A and B are shown apart, each in its own frame.
Chain A
Amino acid sequence: MSTRLKSGGRLIDRSAPLDFTFNGKRLRGCAGDTLASALLANDQMLLGRSFKYHRPRGLVASGAEEPNALVNLGQGARLEPNQRTTTTELFDGLEARSQNHWPSLDFDVGVVNNYAARLLPGGFYYKTFIHPRAAWKHFFEPIIRHSAGLGSAPKDRDADRYEQAYAFCDLLIVGGGVAGLQAALVAGRAGARVWLVEQTAHWGGRAPVDGDVVGGMPAADWVEAAVLELSAMDNVTLRLRCMAAGSYDHGYVLLDEKLADHTPGDGRPRHRLWRMRVGKILAATGAIERPLSFAGNDIPGVMLAGAVRDYAVNWAVSPGDRTVVVTNNDDAYRTAIVLKEAGLEVAAVIDARNIANGPLPERARALGIRVETGRAIARVKGGKRVEAVEICQQAGEGAASTTLSCDAVAMSGGWSPVVHLWSHCGGKLIWDESEAMFRPDATRPPLHADGTAMVLCAGAANGALRQAVADADAQVKIALQALGFEAESEEVPAHDVADESALEPVWIMPQGAGIALRSKMWLDFQNDVKVSDVQLAAREGYESVEHTKRYTTLGMATDQGKLSNINGLAVLADSLNAQIPQVGTTTFRPPYTPVPLGALAGEARGEIFQPLRKTPMHDWHQQNGAYFEPVGHWRRPYCFQRPGETPEQAVHREVKNTREALGLLDASTLGKIIVKGPDAGRFLDMLYTGVMSTLPIGKCRYGLMCNEQGFLSDDGVVARIDADTWLCHTTSGGADRIHAWMEDWLQCEWWDWQVFTANVTEQYAQVAVVGPNARKLLESLGGMDVSKEALPFMHWADGTLGGFACRVYRISFSGELSYEIAVPASQGAAFWALLHKAGAAFGAMPYGTEALHVMRAEKGFIMIGDETDGTIIPQDLGLDWAISKKKPDYLGKRGQERSFLANPDRWKLVGFETLDGSVIEDGAYIPEHGVNANNQRRVQGRVTSTYHSPTLGRGIAMGLLRQGPARMGEVVEFTRMDGGVTPARVVDPVFFDKDGEKQNV
């Protein structure tokens, strides 16, 4: 059984017990435990079920590489599926539940997949479930979907919040082991701005566990001294629980800092996402131990040798009472020695090599540990727990000579550098024959913007498995030099570790294992990919490592192949009779370990999901029944509902009132861009289809803007302010886009033109005062002369009204007598209130965007986004009058001259009146007889705006019809969703006050 040892445990505080539950069972650990170590201490070896075969799964590792021991952590609004127990710090009250089983962890019906495993080899689903056709969706797929997946789907909104922060530094050092610490010391002393981040809650990495001696003292003491010195440096930032998730182009790095995972509900953000721009990254990310592939290597109790050592030394937990160590290298002997010295039984060290006589094996022998060389594990016996191992010759086919009873197996196939940050951005790897591993190829690094190396690796991550401190010292000096810092010449602390003799690559154990054994050798523990599956993929032609991965799902589990990839591609290379470096690795993709989606999204949730733009009158709208609609980031009142009114009734009332008395519209969202400078007129003549340079000061002119293709993109009224200043009104949704469009041309194409632009949309509040009583209201306020003579239609003037300094435009989007009045934004709310107060006598009511739309449609005015959709040119809309024939050029002119756009058969704007007064459906088309070559119904037009007109008491519409203006009076049919049609007569698009008498009074 696994248990807590009576003494030891460098990370735990036995005086601080913590209570937690696993599958409802109350258990106890202590401060400093991970959930994994606490579970092991309570003899909880069975922790979950595998993805495909639902086989029993226990801990394999002690860190981020753990593929098996994943749990549903927490509940309700704090439920987190697939949480890795090995990286979860224990806290009081922690609740964990195991995953992927039904009805229970011990008895899982899904395990039938295991008994049928022979029918379910890698990629089996591509070969079956093909007939009958409907069965996939309705039968097979639902079964597969329910069998797959791991953790439970959360149901509630996340109770926690996340924050994001930005940072910059010269050197980001990732990994707080002795290599990272030494690098930080050198860089810190040299004066560089340094960040040192460590994903766990502790500094020091493996060296203290392995009993290394650094700088003449035990590694743990050296680590403490180093952290002390670094903490005192102002130019060094230290972060624990901070994982470098990914490196991106140009020195961009994403870091995920766990703030409150171990103190849930304490009010702090749960994670903080750091977004850094760095000079160099030094990846001192260490190495990950490789499993060995022998039959039954997935049975709970089979663990990595380094992990067994971690549990014993760090947390005083023994995975078993009697352990077999199996290895192809000297390092695993450290585990045997640690266990023996902790008073535990080591049944034997099974060493695949024929000779093992380095210092570590010799020390093990001296402790009385049985060492068997040239031997292998033929198979592990046991179901939910290791019971024994059968021993055979490594060189043979697996005939067992001995059976050793044991309850734990510690395996080591060597170590692989953690090269993720190196590889994310294109760093290349080379195959190191002596250690049988891929390590960074310093001659082919990922490049920074200046063409130098963006990432350097140090220590074990760089392949220096034993002289990590010296390597880190050398690498950081290279980085510092490139960054322009001079490192102080200090002696490198000696890093004393036992000598190790060479490992022997072992990819299958035993070497000649037959298919029956190979079908039980797990490569990917979580996804259930075995040696036989990779071999099958190779046999079937899935020869690329990417094909094999995707066909078998090797390395696609939540550990992303940290344990399985190298072993898998070695098996693949062997199957293909190729060398490992020829097969290559799959691509390393961010993140290094999974990052909560909430952390990536940050604070942008709910009301602050996106910036909310409010006009100065927004509060008034809210208090007066506004029904809002989003327009870009703005929210505009769609209508103002009175008690008991539907939105439709409100719109009807607003239109009638504006036409008959007085309406007030908050037009502040209208885009307002100042264009100023000696070349401003010339610039606007290029931007608009009409001529703006000749516009007299004091006058307004309607203008159209097109993109280079000739398609209409925005419209609005331009006012000439003074000799070199114009104010361009844009649509509400288009202001930012049009401003960017202007700057694009000014900065990229016409950079020598002397023009400045300023988007002053938010600097002004603007109110449209609309209706027969508009002038009466303004005159009642007192101030400037707004008479027909002083301020004719399409003129503007500065002045005061009711004491407010303002600019008044005589323009109309409704066909009514209309003034648009701009006041400084800070005065907007007061001015709006004054208009309502004074306007009450004249029947003033506010109206919203829908009434605005209806009234403009009654007048046949186009609306960008309704009549246009990116495929419409002004000529389609009968706007030829707004296009200058004299100008040599404007944006879009050449595009509009192309044959398809000049075709007289194009659909053109007309009005439609339904025969029965009903309203044509939004989006309806006008079909023609017959079908096209693709058997689609032919069409000849469509509706673009369709409303019930309160003014006319009937349905009106605008739309596009082939040769429309030539077909006045014709009756056409519009589609309806229910399959019927709506007949309508083609009419002039101006339905109301065709001569414009009302707006000109």
Chain B
Amino acid sequence: MKRYSVFAIAREALSHHQGWERAWKSPLPKASYDAVIIGAGGHGLATAYYLGKNHGIRNVAILEKGWLGGGNTGRNTTIIRSNYLQDPSAALYEKARSLYETLSQELNYNIMFSPRGLLMLAQTHHEVRGYLRTVHANNLQGVSTKWITPERVKQLVPIINIDGPRYPILGALYQARGGTARHDAVAWGYARACSDMGMDIIQQCEVTGVRSENGQVTGVETSKGYIGTKKLGIVVAGHSGQVADMAGFRLPVESMALQALVSEPIKPCMDVVVMANTVHGYMSQSDKGEMVIGGGTDGFNNYTQRGSFHHIEETLRALVETFPMISRLKMLRQWGGIVDMTGDRSPIISKTPLGNCFINCGWGTGGFKAIPGSGWAMADLMARGEPGPLAAEFDMWRFREGRFIDESVAAGVAH
């Protein structure tokens, strides 16, 4: 693999950039692999990457129905944070956040992780108490967050209206090392590294069936033929229920569309990420200058990756009220991504009823921020056949036992 650097760019510039090699290869599938991962989104690619890097398993194929990174990895609002309330979540998301810190260097691909700081606004006394609880919990979990005053909020976000007539801002939960990253680049960076390790990323390859013998997975049927495997990882987000069905088990997951939009680009006016859960909306400004805005999920289950209007309206009301200056900016584009939601709004990283078949799903609205940690934990599970401490609490049987990891306490709706 040719390393990327400013010197490499200068060198290639001499030949008008005719000499760059492919970021990832486009191979035909082999007859069988040591491990097959379904889904070349961020989580699938990260799983493959850490299988190779941490566990030395490199005879791996990652199968993708469409184009890599084309699902929620390429549709989210790029927020990275780990200020979760429950211990298992805080551990997993903080692992991810800390891996993000050095991911550009590790992958030799600039994923533009920008720890620009993240605020969750408190606009009711109840919310204040909730976030104070989160700060206490985070301190014990090794997640660095603090409670800040409305005046400090205004300093960090000059465009904010802290004394709105309806929900004045009473303070905020602040994670200074939260922020954003370039979402596509995360998938591309992992893909390039996986390909470099000799793994096969096979795009336009739809899985149509899962084969097993004596309760053990043996391979998958695909649109490019049968592919044998010793281990199978299902990492397909919105379509998890359908693939699990092929593998012969059901998941406690519902899929629905999460709405997002961007404004036209303007010069920098907001450096931090702001989430306002009482009024339902969150916003950051991308490096390109667009205000990146997210809201909620549609109120019904569906698989259409389309924008709908009703949540957009609610979200924009909230944000125009919170940031009055955005009123004259314009919505450039809106879209939807299909999120898979579990009963406790926490993910599943788990063994399954089928032997050597593992699943990673249920990230709901919070998947992007978790990608490195999710891949790390899933690779560990696939390699050893048993979950490590990061994944231990996230098994799919917790619902049967009532062992919820409920984040709605702290996060309201939005992640």
Contact = CB atoms under 8 A, between A and B. Distances in A.
A596 interface: yes
A11 B175 CA distance: 56
A925 interface: yes
Interface string A592-623: 00111110111011110110100000000000
A899 B401 contact: yes
A82 B184 contact: no
Contacts of A131: 5, 105
B269 to A, nearest CB: 4
B333 A560 contact: yes
12 contacts: A79-B328, A81-B264, A119-B13, A121-B17, A126-B109, A126-B188, A136-B112, A249-B306, A539-B18, A551-B184, A609-B165, A630-B166
B308 A249 contact: yes
Contacts of A921: 132, 136
Given A547-B184, A591-B334, 13 more contacts: A130-B109, A148-B288, A157-B324, A249-B306, A540-B21, A543-B67, A551-B188, A589-B334, A604-B321, A606-B164, A901-B402, A921-B136, A977-B139
A594 B164 contact: no
Interface in A225-271: 246, 248-249, 252, 254
B104 A546 contact: no
A589 B337 CA distance: 13
Interface stretch (A684-692, A698-706, A746-754, A932-940): A932-940
A414 to B, nearest CB: 26
A558 interface: yes
B124 A129 contact: no
A606 B124 contact: no
B330 A82 contact: yes
A133 B104 CA distance: 8
A595 B328 CA distance: 9
Contacts of A939: 87, 137, 140
Nearest to B95: A934
Interface of B: 4-6, 8-10, 13, 16-18, 20-26, 66-70, 74, 87-88, 90-91, 101-102, 104-105, 108-110, 112-116, 123-126, 128-137, 139-142, 146-147, 159, 164-167, 182, 184-185, 188-189, 203, 263-269, 278-279, 285, 287-289, 304, 306-309, 312-313, 316-317, 319-321, 324-335, 343, 389-390, 392, 398, 400-404, 406, 408-409
A833 B231 CA distance: 75
A793 B147 CA distance: 44
Contacts of B16: 118, 515-516, 519, 532
Contact of A600 (B135, B147, B316): B316
Interface stretch (A138-146, A186-194, A326-334, A715-723): A138-146
Contacts of B312: 600
B307 A590 contact: yes
B268 A709 contact: no
A420 to B, nearest CB: 12
B159 to A, nearest CB: 7
Contacts of B279: 609-610
Interface stretch (A335-343, A863-871, A990-998): A863-871
Which 10 residue pairs across A and B have the least CB separation, nearest first? A149-B289, A923-B133, A594-B330, A933-B389, A153-B269, A598-B327, A544-B67, A898-B402, A158-B327, A127-B4
A736 to B, nearest CB: 15
B24 A601 contact: no
Nearest to A598: B327
A942 B90 CA distance: 17
Contacts, number: 344
A629 B122 CA distance: 12
A710 interface: yes
Nearest to B410: A869
Nearest to A894: B402
Contact of B102 (A133, A155, A540): A133
Contacts of B91: 934, 936
A66 B282 CA distance: 30
Considering residues A149, A710, A895, A901, which has the most beta carbons from chain B within 10 angstroms of its beta carbon? A149
A126 B185 contact: yes
Contacts of B185: 126
A69 to B, nearest CB: 14
A610 B287 contact: no
Considering residues B102, B114, B137, which has the most beta carbons from chain A within 10 angstroms of its beta carbon? B137
B329 A597 contact: yes
A511 interface: no
Contacts of B116: 137
A741 interface: no
B265 A977 contact: no
Interface string A527-547: 000001000100111111011
A466 interface: no
A183 to B, nearest CB: 25
A609 B328 contact: no
Nearest to A158: B327
Contacts of B403: 900
A600 B331 contact: yes
Contact of A597 (B68, B101, B128, B316): B316
A148 B165 contact: no
A607 B320 contact: no
A577 to B, nearest CB: 13
A252 B309 contact: yes
Given A541-B24, A936-B141, A601 B327 contact: yes
Interface in A501-533: 515-516, 519, 532
Given A248-B308, A540-B21, A597 B319 contact: yes
B128 to A, nearest CB: 7
Contact of B265 (A125, A150, A158, A600): A150
A82 B265 contact: yes
A136 B100 CA distance: 13
A155 B158 CA distance: 9
A128 interface: yes
A425 interface: yes
